[in-house]
Amino acid sequence: MNQSKIFQGLVLALAVAPAFAQTTTTAPPPGRLLASNCFQCHGTNGSGGVDSIRGESVSEIYNEMKEMQRKTPPKMMDMHARGYTDAEIKLLATYLATLR
């Protein structure tokens, strides 16, 4: 009986631990601020706007932007894409793909 109560107490303490950890702050997801450059034209979180980019995979976004970087004559988005490094495109594409 006593042992059982101690066990229950431990279980509760363990169960509470992650919840307690939540009261500290979570770091912003990598790529979120960079990807927010898309939202003025593509809508908040990539929904709506000139065309929606929400729901696209990392490789879809990455490949589209690499293609835009090479496109001539460039339209507005083709110019904009030229402003990011390869690593930055991967970073923002990885974040955007989490917005399912």
Partner 1 sequence: MVKRRDFIKWTGAAGIGLTAAGWSALAAADDRRTRTATTSAFPTTGIKGRVVVIGGGMGGATVAKYLRFWGGTGVDVTLIERDSAYTSSIMSNLVLNGSRTINSLQFGYGNLASRYGVKIVKGEVVTIDPVGRAVTLASGTRYAYDRLVVAPGVDFDVLPGLETAAAQAKVPHAWTAGPQTTALRNMITAMPAGGVFVMSIPAKPIRCPPGPYERACVVADWLKRNRSGAKVIVLDANASIMAEEHSFLEGFALHGVEYRPGVSINSVDAATLTLNTSEGNVRGNVLNVIPPHRAGKVIAANGLADAGGRWSNVDVLSYETRIAPGIHVIGDASATTQPKAGHIANQEAKVCADAILRLLSGRAPDPSPHTNSACYSPITFETASWLTVNFAYDPVSKTMQPVPASAGEAATRSKDNFEEMNKWFTALMGDSFA
Interface residues with partner 1 (CB under 8 A)? 2, 5-6, 9, 12-13, 15-16, 19-20, 22-28, 32-34, 36-37, 39-45, 47-50, 73-74, 76, 79-84, 88
Nearer to partner 1, 45 or 63 (CB): 45
Closest CA to 96 of 2, 31, 37: 31
Nearer to partner 1, 41 or 58 (CB): 41
Residue 74: how many CA atoms within 13 Å on its side-chain side? 14
| E strand or H helix at 81 | helix 76-81
Closest CA to 46 of 58, 59, 36, 31: 36
For residue 34, the minimal CB distance to partner 1 (Å) is 6
Strand ranges inside 1-100, DSSP E: none
Nearer to partner 1, 60 or 84 (CB): 84
For residue 87, the minimal CB distance to partner 1 (Å) is 10
